[in-house]
Amino acid sequence: MNARTESPDQQLRARARRVVPGGMYGHMRAEGLPPDYPQFFDRGQGCHLWDANGRRYIDFMCSWGPIVLGHQHPGVTEAVNRQMAAGDCLNGPTERMVELAERLVGLVTHADWAMFSKNGSDATTTCVTLARAATGKRKILVAKGAYHGALPWCSPHPLGVTAEDRAHLITYRYNDISSLEAAVDEAGSDLAGIVASAFRHDYGLDQELPDAAFARRARALCDAADAALILDDVRAGFRLTLHGSWDLVGVQPDLSAWSKAIANGHALAAVTGNGRYRDAAAKLFVTGSFWCGAVPMAAALATLDALEQGDGPARMRAAGQRLRDGLAAQAAVWGLAIRQSGPPQMPTLLFDDDADCAKGYRFCQEALKRGVYLHPRHNMFLSTAHSDADIDEALQATAQAFEAMASGG
Amino acid sequence: MNARTESPDQQLRARARRVVPGGMYGHMRAEGLPPDYPQFFDRGQGCHLWDANGRRYIDFMCSWGPIVLGHQHPGVTEAVNRQMAAGDCLNGPTERMVELAERLVGLVTHADWAMFSKNGSDATTTCVTLARAATGKRKILVAKGAYHGALPWCSPHPLGVTAEDRAHLITYRYNDISSLEAAVDEAGSDLAGIVASAFRHDYGLDQELPDAAFARRARALCDAADAALILDDVRAGFRLTLHGSWDLVGVQPDLSAWSKAIANGHALAAVTGNGRYRDAAAKLFVTGSFWCGAVPMAAALATLDALEQGDGPARMRAAGQRLRDGLAAQAAVWGLAIRQSGPPQMPTLLFDDDADCAKGYRFCQEALKRGVYLHPRHNMFLSTAHSDADIDEALQATAQAFEAMASGG
């Protein structure tokens, strides 16, 4: 290809291929997306995103979850600038850590305490380690196909992983009480904990909200076995409710893992727990060079304030429902059979009879061309920056995308 | 204790105990330090740090490593503000990622490529996983007592860790060729990699620079076994040299783990590797929600520029040597037998006949009272913000601290 005809994104990809294995890694590798999706980005503002080619999109990925108030949210920016002028990474925490732990204990129904880290994987791993530390047992139940991070014990792509890394994992099927009971039986007297996602948001599949009876049974099984009920709220936390996602079905976990939306894009994760796990948590050695960083904690305080004061989850729900209703009506007009699943704040859109995702790819490409950034397989994310006007503008583009699909070509 | 007589730090500790297990966790828990050390901090500027009580210190911990240019370094602040105004956490990386990977490949002798994450533990874990992925083998050699992070496979405090988490680890003694050879023999045909720290910086012990013959033997053993030589440069990287710490002994690793000083306090880690590991790295699935964050990468670019242009490692070495020489002279005056070890940029100070560290505690407490923040057991850190005048001011305080010790009371 001629360098003069290459786009900035293509030029960056070529440079990246020389100094980054495969040009990019992990969940943000553009190879998982339809052709023409950009790999590199320049900036963000509200619900808008500009790629390295200078194209603007109404964005429905929200950086795969972290952006919950939109980019450049004034309240977060102000808190970040204020904290940055004082100090971020010091010889210990600042008052922000105490304030944020107090805030989470006040907001999250099950929480008596909080600890902070950087990655969702840090938080889920701490929960599992803590469950083992507190119970003196080893077996951890996880739902088949669920994503809990990218460390050897939980990575969905186990290259370089040894059998021993997963020696004490037992799988069950999400929302399937009998499979959960069978897994608990298999763990026997060695059950340390049951890990469950806030809802079933497995890649490429229809999403499933937690069944209340399933959640209650998980709670009862943990109580009977003196094991930890661990909620992986990394992806869903603070979008569905500020009180812990299973609060919506009336079930409280012992431990929860949080990250993504907690600080509107600043690197932060958290574990919250109840009193039963406090003593063991105090004995645990978990740490990282940047875990006391005050700027992400200041960002989190501002994010939670904005979400609470602005009724963030309800607003995102309404915006997501407006999008969902519009898409459903459009698909019906063109006789295209689609399935929309999951909470409206984190919607998944799949086409019927689309095993290779060709339809999903086509639809998303057509939308992308028209300035709307959707994902054909992964759940998407709304933010409080998505106004009714933004949704309606996006729906104009998706109407044309459906039309282009239906008319072939 | 009366609330009215409690210091802000004590009040924060009391609040923290209610909402954070044990009041604090990990390596920044003040319990590991002499009494009177603050747990909470307010701000930093250059080589100075202010605790929550408003007391100012000349700081020799540099946030346990990350602060390499001093707090509020203008070049880093400017780069951070510029990037923050554009975007940080987007739907993919920005050009900053490519620039930073290019920069590391240019600076680090062994590096043909780079990947980025958030924690030192992320980087060491990626190296180990990559060694296994590339070689198809499992055994990893680590030096007994070395710190490579706080995940179950490597945490120094294995509460909640299962035997299987460490099933394929074999230990050797740092700088001991015959113990390394024995460990390689034990691994047999299953040797995936040898992990070595940049130098021996184990907690509470005299530090030891790498013996060149030992480093060469590690390299030869890996070559013979088709295993990865992994340098853990998380703590030392960019303080001793910008080219990789074993460059100083003429030995190149296959993979290196970096973090701490890379972005002057912004949360970032990196893995660099040579061409042999590129293909396997491209197949690895490692990721995190904030790993593409552009602000820490912009900070890293500015940090590396400042370190290179200002001859940072040499300046820190000179400042550390000035401190070391002064401390040695002072201790001699008062007849106190001390041992100073490690590179001057990362000095450790231990007292003879001090198994319980009572002398070290006493000395550090006396220095703290006089406005100098030292650590009695862990290696300390210099930054380029430590001027000769700062070192001399610190030495005035340590002279008085030695005198107070020598005169008893």
What per-residue confidence (pLDDT) applies to B5?
85
CA distance B14 to chain A (A): 10
What size, in residues, is chain A?
409
Enumerate the residues of chain B whose CB falls inside 8 A of the CB of residue A187.
none
Enumerate the residues of chain B whose CB falls inside 8 A of the CB of residue A160.
128-134, 280, 284
Average pLDDT, chain A: 97
pLDDT tens-digit map of B290-338: 999 999 999 999 999 999 999 999 999 999 999 999 999 999 999 999 9
Chain A interface test: which of B55, B90, B116 (most A C-beta within 10 Å): B90
pLDDT tens-digit map of A14-58: 999 999 999 999 999 998 899 899 999 999 999 999 999 999 999
Chain B interface test: which of A13, A17, A20 (most B C-beta within 10 Å): A20
Chain B interface test: which of A9, A12, A25, A255 (most B C-beta within 10 Å): A25
> Is there a contact between A126 and A271 (Cβ–Cβ < 8 Å)?
yes
Q: Which of A213, A139, A162, A298 is nearest to B129 (CA)?
A: A162
Contact status of B89 with chain A (Cβ, < 8 Å): yes
Task: Find the CB nearest B115 among A21, A44, A122.
Answer: A21
> Is there a contact between A337 and A331 (Cβ–Cβ < 8 Å)?
yes
Please report, as a single letter, which amino acid is at residue B345.
Answer: Q
Structural domains for chain B? 3-64+311-406 (3.90.1150.10), 74-309 (3.40.640.10)
| B340 secondary structure, DSSP code | E
Task: Find the CB nearest A267 among B161, B259, B267.
Answer: B267
pLDDT over threshold 90, residue B186: yes
Tokens for B324, please give them.
């070391």
Parallel, antiparallel or unpaired: strands A113-117 and A269-273: antiparallel
> Mean pLDDT, to the nearest integer, of A275-300?
98
> Is there a contact between B103 and B304 (Cβ–Cβ < 8 Å)?
yes
What per-residue confidence (pLDDT) applies to B12?
98
Chain B interface test: which of A24, A290, A375 (most B C-beta within 10 Å): A290
Pinpoint the alpha helices (H) of B108-231.
120-135, 177-187, 212-225
Contact status of A258 with chain B (Cβ, < 8 Å): no
d(CA A13, CA A7): 10
Contact status of A371 with chain B (Cβ, < 8 Å): no
Task: Find the CB nearest B281 among A21, A39, A296.
Answer: A21
Tally of CB atoms within 10 A around A213 = 12
Nearest residue of chain A to residue B115 (CA atoms):
A20
> Is there a contact between A168 and A138 (Cβ–Cβ < 8 Å)?
yes
Tokens for A361, please give them.
């790819």
Contacts across the A-B interface (CB distance below 8 Å): 339
What per-residue confidence (pLDDT) applies to A233?
98
d(CA B138, CA B273): 19
Chain B, 372-401: which have a CB under 8 Å from a chain A CB? Answer: 373
**Strand stretches in A249-347, DSSP E:** 255-258, 269-273, 338-341
Enumerate the residues of chain A whose CB falls inside 8 A of the CB of residue B292.
28
What per-residue confidence (pLDDT) applies to B15?
98
pLDDT over threshold 70, residue A106: yes
Contact status of B353 with chain A (Cβ, < 8 Å): no
> Is there a contact between A269 and A343 (Cβ–Cβ < 8 Å)?
no
Per-residue confidence at B188, pLDDT binned at 50, 70, 90? very high
Q: Which of A175, A170, A173 is nearest to A140 (CA)?
A: A170
d(CA A113, CA A372): 40
pLDDT over threshold 90, residue A408: no
Q: Do B26 and A165 touch (CB under 8 A)?
A: no
d(CA A304, CA A384): 12
What per-residue confidence (pLDDT) applies to B408?
77
Structure ipTM: 0.97
Tokens for B407, please give them.
């005169």
Packing angle, helices A95-107 and B8-19, rounded to 10: 30
d(CA A395, CA A398): 5
Please report, as a single letter, which amino acid is at residue B257.
Answer: A
| Separation of CA A9 from chain center | 26
What per-residue confidence (pLDDT) applies to A2?
54
Tally of CB atoms within 10 A around A185 = 11
Enumerate the residues of chain A whose CB falls inside 8 A of the CB of residue B293.
265, 267
**Strand stretches in A223-308, DSSP E:** 228-232, 255-258, 269-273
What per-residue confidence (pLDDT) applies to B3?
55
pTM, 2 dp: 0.98
> Mean pLDDT, to the nearest integer, of A223-240?
98
Per-residue confidence at A227, pLDDT binned at 50, 70, 90? very high
pLDDT over threshold 70, residue B1: no
pLDDT tens-digit map of B219-278: 999 999 999 999 999 999 999 999 999 999 999 999 999 999 999 999 999 999 999 999
Measured between alpha carbons, how far is residue B314 from residues A48, A392, B49, B239 in Å? 45, 59, 23, 9
